[in-house]
Chains A and B, each alone.
Chain A
Amino acid sequence: MNFETVLFYLFAAVTVFAALRVITARNPLHAVLFLVLAFVSSAGIWMLLEAEFLAIALVLVYVGAVMVLFLFVVMMLDINIEQLRKGFWQWLPLGGLLAALIGVQMVWVLGADEISAGTTAVKHAADYSNTKELGRLIYTDYVYPFEIAAVLLLVAMVAAIALTLRKRRDTKRQDVNKQVKVRREDRVRIVSVPSARQVESVQEAAASNHGHTAD
């Protein structure tokens, strides 16, 4: 067993453990953090397969952006986990039975020899760049599915905006253009006040100007 195999089993074990904890953790925030851990360790497995682009993209996109937003939402939601779990134990026997049945069937149909790994990944030379290779394939052989996938993302964006953007009348919005265009003359009024007056007249003036001082 060489060092890479040890690493693989380490990452695999962490991934499985974290994935299990995602569904068993009582606190939804912990579940999200375990999911992050699962992502990171799967990125490690990808790294072992010399797929450094996918590994880093997984960390960058999922861990760095998607899961942060997840965390963001989960922190703000008041999830009553007990309510969600209501009936869990009641349905567990039936669900477990079905799952076991499917599992047994799968093993039975596929057999042990089918599951065993027949081939090992090919090692590449040191100057092999997975990123470059991926880019080349995406823009040549797979350009059509790649473009459709891009359209799919556009649809997701349009759909998300269409479903969430609602124009409300009561929001107070600032128009930045107007804010920038403001000149001093619009906001400040320079009033020349005579420097010396009699005491009574000043009081009078103050009383009559009282309403204007607010603007």
Chain B
Amino acid sequence: MMEAQALQLVESLLSFLGLWELLRGFIEPAWHVVWTVLKIFAIILPIMGGVAYYTLAERKVLGFMQVRPGPNRVGYWGLLQPVADGLKLLCKEIIIPTNSNKFLFLAAPVLALTPALAAWAVIPFDDGMILADVNAGLLYLLAMTSLGVYGIIIAGWASNSKYAFLGALRSAAQIVSYELAMGFALVCVLLAAQSMNMGDIVRGQQSEYGLFGWYWIPLFPMLVVYFIAGVAETNRAPFDMAEGESEIVAGFHVEYSGMGFALFFLAEYANMILIAALSSVMFLGGWLNPFQGWPVLGELTAWVPGLVWMLGKMSIFLFLFLWLRATFPRYRYDQLMRLGWKVFIPLTLVWVVVVATWMQTPWWLW
């Protein structure tokens, strides 16, 4: 629908310039592709911007929690800091270690970033505001998030450095372990929503009870497991063994500089935002209004667009990421594995059965 309207807009614009008849043969057949590319840009560019300012937010929040101002020199209140950082990284020399595998060394950052961005294709930002409204959306997401580990493991190996290699091994084991718990947590969502389509999952949470109709109530343990597993999947503190700057310097990306490093950085933060988006979509009702159907608040907030709610919910989780980082010391490796295998996986397995049974009873209200 929007696709056709946009085409009309382009047509009227070009006719005004007198170019429409000339370019028509090129534009019309390829319009679907062009439109899709435009939509991809409309998703990726804000994510990039989000990543940039999320780094600023991180430093500001950490600063606030540690009673210090954080970056405040570049621009007012440090607002231009991300731009300065980006410029610095762009200008830095890319160093390729001797005896490293050059092709894989350069391919690794790309392999890390691609799945992190590709996963966004099935995230609904508002009702219908989704790039690919596919039925197997949830599965696709799981597949994409499981691919991110290749960037890390290849980076570690190709760098020909022991710190990088150790970091890569740690990270690979960690991601594979937590993926299971994450997958099972999503199975619960799938059970509750009876669909793997991300839009349907959100619509399944719609009710006149507002935020009490969302899945975070029946699936609360899964929300906790999912989010913690998400923190572990993105190698963030307190699960940042893969970087572990006090033991293995910076882990898998210790040999990267300049844009290679920047790409890893982008991937990590894009993944964090992705986890936040997913948690909101699956447990906090995505674009839904939390006060929907409530007597007064519901009517007062009815005008707020879904996108705002979605972004609001995401920022809650994004803040949690930072809060965790500021609060907890790093896990020890065996503790991390124990948490994943002996706590989360049994818990999620049990909860799958609980939800499946619960859904057969009249007490299932969602």
Contact = CB atoms under 8 A, between A and B. Distances in A.
Touch test A–B (CB under 8 Å): yes
Interface of A: 29, 33, 36, 52-53, 56-57, 59-60, 63-65, 68-69, 71-72, 75-76, 129-131, 174, 176
Contacts of B302: none
Given A59-B147, A63-B147, A129 B176 contact: no
Interface centre among B136, B142, B175 (most CB of A within 10 A): B136
A138 to B, nearest CB: 15
Interface of B: 104, 134-136, 139-140, 142-143, 146-147, 149-150, 153-154, 157, 165, 168-169, 172-173, 175-176, 179, 196, 334-335, 338
A198 B225 CA distance: 60
Contact of A56 (B139, B153, B165, B169): B139
Contacts of B135: 52, 129, 131
Nearest to A131: B136
B143 A52 contact: no
B150 to A, nearest CB: 7
Contacts of A68: 149-150, 153, 172, 175-176
Contacts, number: 65
Contacts of A59: 143, 146-147
A174 B149 CA distance: 29
Contacts of A29: 157
A59 B179 CA distance: 14
A56 B203 CA distance: 24
Nearest to B147: A64
Contacts of A60: 139, 142-143, 146
A72 B146 CA distance: 15
Nearest to A63: B147
Given A60-B146, A69-B176, A53 B139 contact: yes
B147 A131 contact: no
Given A33-B154, A72-B169, A72-B173, 6 more contacts: A29-B157, A60-B143, A64-B179, A65-B176, A131-B136, A131-B139
26 contacts: A29-B157, A33-B104, A33-B154, A52-B135, A52-B136, A53-B139, A56-B139, A56-B140, A56-B143, A59-B147, A60-B139, A60-B142, A60-B146, A63-B143, A64-B146, A65-B176, A68-B153, A68-B172, A68-B176, A71-B153, A71-B157, A72-B153, A76-B169, A131-B139, A131-B196, A176-B338
